Amino acid sequence: MRFSFKIFSGLFLIIGCGALLFFMVFMNSLKPGFRQSTEDTLVDTANLLAEIVAEETYHQALGNGQFALAMAQFKQRHFAATIGALTKREPSLQVYITDQRGIVLYDSTGQHNGADFSRWNDIYLTLQGRYGVRSTLANPEDSLSSVMHVAAPIYHQQQLIGVITVKKPNLSVQPFFQAAQQELTRKGLWLLLLALLAGLLLSIWLSRSIRLLAHYAEQVSHGKNAKMPHIYGVELEQLARAMTTMKTELEGKQYVERYVQTLTHQLKTPLAAIIGAAELLDEPMPETQRARFISNIRLEAERMQQIVQRMLALADLENRATLERLEPINVAALLAEALHSQAIHLQKKALDVDLQSPTEIIVAGERFLLLQALNNLLDNAIDFATAQSRLEIKIAEEMQGVSITIKNAGALIPDYALPRLFERFYSLPRPGSVQKSSGLGLCFTNEVARLHHGTLNIDNRADSQGVEVIFTLHTNPTQST
């Protein structure tokens, strides 16, 4: 299971459970809230009507008084009151009035006049001097038929003379409750979808950042000179920097150990030759022999100096992740400069150079590094070429860069040596000599290709007439991936 899916599933579970819990709690408190609001209005209404009907109740004139007439006209009223998304068209408020014994003196429905309501909570509690309220089913078989009754005492000259009860079906607030429930459900679903979308984006961002870190760690573990990924987020950025610091410290330690070992191994032979020649010079010998030993010491010292200088240059390249300064370079002009510096070398071998090059191919790179790399490749191609043969050089444009192909005519590279050409200090004997080069030139050139996001390929020619080198460069290294 992918990490991003795990994150999204966890967020979905947390947000979904939280939204469901909130919805259930809110819904459970929504309906009681509507009823409490209705009850609050009925309390005010009952107490207001109690003051209005006090005189008529005292004089027992409720049946044909102004209040009964007003209630009759009130029941006949039709209106169009838009409340939210609903329209109320007829009244739903009902009233009955009892005397101090609980006997109904007036009922707006006309059904309960003369009935004894003294045992109903609204009447009973109010006559006791308490708050009288009850909710009773109008139809015992219908759970939605409950009617809320709120009572208020009627006083005349501070004497309790009766009770007035206003009642309203709870079903009258049901449409408002349902409308609120639908609106809440709709907006809740939108909110849930937005939260899940935010969770999805968060999981994608987090998993992408972790993938970048994992890829970076994998490249480091394989010894690649990888760049630290750009990651947004304080904690993840701190982790990336910590990994970079750890990589630098570990690579530095391993790098020093490896180079000390290789440098010691390479310097061992010339040092032994110098020490041996120096010891022999302490003994009497002919001047010609002494001169030969002194010449050997000088040659071995120069060889040691060359090894140290090339190792320092290679070490600098291997520790660089990017080019330091880019400048536009005309490849044909740069190659012509390299060939010019190899003119004496070419003349000694009597090589004929066949150069095929467009006049304008521009790449971005470091001129000094590219010139050294081309000189290394030309030096090898000339050394291993057969005297009086042809050196073929071709510059060609690629899709996103340029390739430089160098073919010589000469000895083939042995099969066992092909995989080891870029190893440090690995070198084949030069033709006509048992001497080997430092074995660092191709390593250096390969690193130059890497920094320019290019490649270096060396293989025997398909016609088995010599060796072919293909050196590719990206036109703009900063845009390569």
Residue 461 has pLDDT above 80, yes or no: yes
> In DSSP terms, which residues pair with 145 in a beta bridge?
none
pLDDT at 481: 43
Confidence (pLDDT) at 255: 45
Give the pLDDT mean for 440-457: 83
Q: What is the pLDDT of residue 176?
A: 57
**Is residue 292 pLDDT above 60, yes or no?**
yes
How long a stretch of residues is the chain? 481
In 3-state terms, what secondary structure has residue 36? helix
Cβ partners under 8 Å of residue 348, min gap 6? none
Average pLDDT over residues 43-58: 91
Q: How far apart are CA 339 and CA 233, in angstroms?
A: 51
Backbone angles phi, psi at 476, to 5 degrees: -135, 100
Which residues face 94 on adjacent strands? 167
Per-residue pLDDT at 231 exceeds 80: no
d(CA 298, CA 289): 14
Most confident option among 15-19, 111-115, 261-265: 111-115
pLDDT of 10 > 70? The answer is no
What is the band of 256 on the pLDDT scale with cuts at 50, 70, 90? very low
Closest CA to 23 of 245, 179, 185, 196: 185
The predicted model gives 212-233 an average pLDDT of: 66
**pTM metric for this prediction:** 0.42
Find residue 402's DSSP bridge partners: 397, 473
Band of pLDDT at residue 85, cut at 50, 70 and 90: low
